[in-house]
Amino acid sequence: MKKRFISVLLAVGMVFGLLPAAVGADQPDGMKEIAASAEFVGSGGDGTDEDPYLISNLDDLEAFRDYINVMLTAAAASISS
């Protein structure tokens, strides 16, 4: 009986341990602003393979990172000088 109780307890612990911890987590304020605008400007391009976004400085790179993380989408980008 004691072994069965421990087995069930461990199984329940494993199930709850596999659940994502960040379910329902709020986005930081900066991410909410980006999600509201839902547009990446950068130094040019439209994000397609034929015309990738152009990233020419650190601000562009950070804006592109935030845009991709908030929009959860794929986009083409190219580093330009």
Confirm whether 31 is domain-assigned.
yes
Q: pTM (2 decimals)?
A: 0.50
Domain count, the chain: 1
Domain that holds residue 55: 27-81
Confirm whether 74 is domain-assigned.
yes
Distance CA 79, CA 70 (A): 21
pLDDT of residue 11: 87
Amino acid letter for position 39: E
Distance CA 41, CA 46 (A): 8
Q: Would the CA dihedral through 35, 75, 73, 65 be positive or negative? A: negative
Lowest model confidence (mean pLDDT) among 34-43, 47-56, 58-67: 34-43
pLDDT digits (tens, 9 = 90+) for 1-37: 788 888 888 888 887 777 665 554 555 555 555 555 5
Q: Retrieve residue 37's tokens.
A: 């605008």
